[in-house]
Amino acid sequence: MIKVEVKDFQRTLKALGSVVSSKSALPVLRSVVLGYNAERSVFYMIASDSENWLQVDCVNGEGENQRAWAVMGDNDKKDPFSEVCLRFDKLSAAIDALPSALAISMWFETKGGQTQLRVDYNTGEFVLPCNQDGLPEDFPVVPQVVTPETANPGQNTEPVCAFNVPAEWLLPRMQSARAALVTGAQAELRPVMGCECLDVDHEGLNVVGTDGHQLFRDRYQVGMGVGFLQMFKKNENGEMLRSAKILLHKKAVNTAIKTFLPKGDISFVADTRLVRMAAQGMIITSVTLDAKYPNYQSVIPENPHQLVVAASQLQTVLQRIRLFTDDASELIRLQHSQGYLVISGEDTANACRAEERVEILNSDDTTLPNDFAIGVKQSTLREMTSCVDTDNIILKFSAPEKPITIYEESKDSQLLILVMPMLINPQNK
């Protein structure tokens, strides 16, 4: 018998759902593995799409404060628990429908040669078949990232690097950088532009997202002599490299954002084929893209005109304006008007529009012409600026057909956002 707390089970299944492929041609990938580590006395769950793996230990907290939310009955510890495959959609829907404050009991039974999971709660029970879409041995094994300790001469995969980054800093940047990536068919044609780049060196880490036109870049700076980066890879002369670029597919990024909490550090270990991200009892292993990342610094223009606005007010206004914006184009207009940045959106199909003013804090000093107007995609601007930490934000302009560059109002900040403009109809100017 396994005693399980529903609220933690629900949270874990939600995280696993970011990896499970409901439309996979391989039925086993529509399942998750539930297993038990007898050595550590911990249950775990694994989801995979054959390129990304998420393993979640069924515990809360860390160190001495760690608490298991799935506990095996004392009598059952004598009979070691083995891995089973469970159909994810049925399990997730059934557990999600239970009250989160509930504690439930689970059994594995064999009837007529079929292993079943029986879930018992205070008002009833339900039964789900196990190993229906393939035995656990058919499930893709979580690959191990090659490290200097596990590397073998002659193998194709080499260890690259290891480092730790505060989750509180990293996760918002990964989410903002995601808005600059190409999606859909474009991502298949230009896969490198559908990846986020972790550009890491001995002094820190750049988080970069670009589609070749738009750009998000921010840097976590630690300085020299801190030992931030453990570099393993060498060049052809046998010299240790000073930097590395890790290209994360968008699904790996989405999984990290949905899985990790913004606390503590996320540890990274990468080889030339895989990256492992670990924190809070969860491990994401993902295949990386082996490609040359573009020189993202080369697309940054020098914009002569700048406006300074309150960052929180800009975000709040963008959140409201999006409700009145065309879902297809997502076009909004930014206009300089008498000391204000006027932000407007329109949805002609539903006959609605909205307009709000944001006070320009440097209105006496700006050189931007009055009535200057430029169109942008609201979701891109909103998401890419959502991680701003400073009170004020700087928007720089050149011309209506030229990109906007955006910075935090801080001499220590290395955030750079480049947003491409959209065409505004002449009658709307």
Closest by Cα among 26, 18, 45, 52 to 285? 52
**What are the residue ranges spanned by the domains of the chain?**
2-138, 159-211+221-297, 300-428
Q: Which fold has domain 2-138?
A: DNA Polymerase III; Chain A, domain 2 (3.10.150)
Q: Which fold has domain 159-211+221-297?
A: DNA Polymerase III; Chain A, domain 2 (3.10.150)
User: What is the pLDDT confidence band of residue 428, given thresholds at 50, 70 and 90?
Assistant: very low
396 vs 375: CA distance, rounded Å: 14
Query: What confidence tens digit (pLDDT) does each residue in 201-242 have?
Result: 999 999 999 998 899 999 999 977 678 999 999 888 889 999
304 vs 325: CA distance, rounded Å: 29
Residues in CB range of 3: below 8 A, 6 or more apart: 70, 71, 73, 103, 104, 105
Q: Give the bridge partners for 200, in sequence order.
A: 205, 244
For residue 429, pLDDT over 60 is answered with no
Q: Is 230 exposed, middle or buried (0-12, 13-18, 19+ CB in 10 A)?
A: middle
What pTM does this model have? Answer: 0.91
141 vs 124: CA distance, rounded Å: 35
Is the Cα torsion angle 155, 160, 166, 171 positive or negative in sign? Answer: negative
- Most confident option among 97-111, 137-151, 362-376: 362-376
| Contact criterion met (CB below 8 Å) for 289 and 196 | no
Query: What confidence tens digit (pLDDT) does each residue in 101-127 have?
Result: 999 999 888 887 788 999 999 889 999
Q: Give the bridge partners for 201, in sequence order.
A: 204, 243
Q: In 260-359, where does DSSP find H-type helix?
A: 311-321
- Most confident option among 60-64, 144-148, 184-188: 144-148
Q: Which fold has domain 300-428?
A: DNA Polymerase III; Chain A, domain 2 (3.10.150)
Residues in CB range of 412: below 8 A, 6 or more apart: none
**How many residues make up the chain in this entry?**
429
128 vs 361: CA distance, rounded Å: 61
